[in-house]
Structure 1
Amino acid sequence: MLADLLAALSFQAGYNTRIVLIGAVLLGTAAGLVGTFTLLRGRALVSDALGHATLPGVVLAFIAGSALGLSSRNLPLLLAGAAASGALAVWLVHLLSHHTRLTEDTAIAAVLGSSFGLGVVLLSVAQRLPTGGQAGLGTFILGQTAGMTEGEVWTMAGLAALAILASVALFKEFRLICFDPDFARGIGWPVQRLDLLLLALVVVVTVAGLQTVGLVLVVAFLVIPPVAARFWSDRLDRILLLAGLFGGVSGAVGAALSAALPGLPTGAVIVLVAGTLFLLSLLFAPRRGVVATLLRQGSMGFRLAVVKALSDRRRGPAAPVSGTVALWLRARGLTTRDGALTPRGEAAAERADRNLALWERLTRTDPNAIPDTALWGIDDATRVLPQATLARLREGTAR
């Protein structure tokens, strides 16, 4: 298995596997980029409605093609139908949320449920046609790369590349409407048109991913990589790079695993790989990860306990402290074996008292002046606060 996986990832597992891998990487990158803007704009659930809304378009295109005598595997026709029904779903969500009393999530739920229900009904109609039943239309629900032809792969890759180029070209516009749409509207930018353009890119990615991950799982491909990237950075450009990277890696590894283990469905494996990257980000991201947060909280609690222990010993009889704090104070030469302060500990306790006095006065007089990243009572106020603020606080403390 490992040899087959490495062969697929190194583009040495055959021509068909190579082009599928390229298409999956481009699709994952496009999903990461477009999904980031969609997530920041608060439109993540729209991609779910779009995915389900493509089913009736695919089936109607198949029925129309059958009536015209076209091949049942006419992918451009099927994708055109998916794009048309997806665009109609976007328009309906926009119409219901902006021109009725329905909230956006209610409009999304209504369009999603009715579209998928219509698609299932149309599937049953297509099954009774004398042209070969559904002719593989069910693969659009969960995806199937094994039956894709070379032309279909390149069509998917071309749509994904188009979405990538559009995301890069419209980076400035999408960034502004994601973070400050009111300002964009105030300076005359067409916010609603940009919103519709962003949703059009979601349609493109959804249509491109129908045969790879399917209409059910495409929403996961649009949401998981951006959410995973958000754990690693606060800057939009870095989040976009990471989301594209996570999406591309998910597509590559998922397609390679599916090639190495033919019994595994490619779309589901791709989403599982993306979910694994999300789980690793959730746990081990350096700033926002669970492990880093627990370590930071534990460090803050320990440092506060040290400051409080020094201050208590300077003011009166030694209060009991935890064994870890007592050992740390003794190891640093701040206390003696019986817990009394050493000369060095006296100096440290005096500094701790002055620091706490500055922080307490600031919280009483102007709590809004505390920096967002400051750890109250722990950080050295003389290094964290501006000099003007320190001078005012010291003057008040002296009084």
Structure 2
Amino acid sequence: MDHWRDTESPPRRRKLRLGVVAAALTATLTLLCCVGSAGAFFLTELGGEEQDPTVAGLACDPGHRVSVTGDMPRFTEYGEGQLRNAAVIIKVGQDMKVPARGWVIALATAMQESALRNLANSTVPASLTLPHEGVGADHDSLGLFQQRPGWGSVEQRMSPAYTARKFYEKMRRVPRWEDRPLTVVAQRVQISAFPDAYAKHEELAGRIVDALAGGAARTVQIAGKAVCDAAAGARIAASGWTAPIPGGVGSGFRTADRPGHNGVDIAAPRRVTEIHAAATGRVLVARCDPDHSGRRDCDRDGWPGKGGCGWFVDILHAGGYITRYCHLVERPGVAPGQLVAAGDVIGRVGSSGNSSGPHLHFEVHVDSDRSSRGAINPVPFMRERGAPLDGDT
């Protein structure tokens, strides 16, 4: 597919329009709260990518055991003590044989509740000398997860290992917790007044799990075992991402002969191949893209040079990421404003629009920017999240 274009509005107006949509989403999913930290390490002007030094080139080792006493990796968002608390949360999950997806959920929850600090409160008796790292705002909530008296005694709730164990125990009772959006699972455990706030921490939580636990956010559970880089279809990586369809990349991102190709093409059988949402998010656009002549003509196969994305979907994810899915065979099965979970079917592969045959054109954008300026190479992006686009498992 040639580079996607929106003939309805110039780039500046399009970005302003998206800003209005994003502001509305903040009230319901809080998806845009961490764009600066989650998207800042990408250089996208020429398709190059500057990787986060804490995970760049990190191998995936499902058997890696986290250390709570060794040197901690460096993150600008958190200090050594906070990362050591994160290590405790992960270690408890490993000891309980909780899959890595649970570690990401637990970390994101503690990041929202306490910023990974073991918080005391003003009601703790002076006679109790409990180690703590600050005083929380909630008068009867304590510890990393800000648990209330029903979770245990004061001493227990001030123990990072105890509170992590209690979180995992309750999380495991949430039906289908591994396949549901992080916000849904965290809220079922915590019963928070701000249930959507957990979403903004998912990206960084995955990076911390990778750095502390040998790339574990890139794993999926297959036959009860953690497997690296196999997230596709119904399989969701611990990072919360999955490949939209299985297969291998044919035409790559901004190649020498196609410098305006802002995504990658993955060939697949027409109509029978389901397209899955790559991560939980809110649908921004689901419509027929006009061709070069301005016609919305997507109910038949297209041809090279026709122009337009055909039937397509844009989804906004936590961290300000946007994924785009082009050339669907028919009207998408989702609508603007709809919340979709990772792995949900949003349509089927086709050849509508500027297309020479059945395939999925897949794009990833950063900074909530749907224009070509926001496009990055989706191949390394998806590989770092355990959902490679080359089909290898």
Same fold, TM-score > 0.5, yes or no: no
Q: TM-score, normalised by structure 2?
A: 0.25
Q: TM-score, normalised by structure 1?
A: 0.25
* Structure in which a larger fraction of residues adopt strand: 2
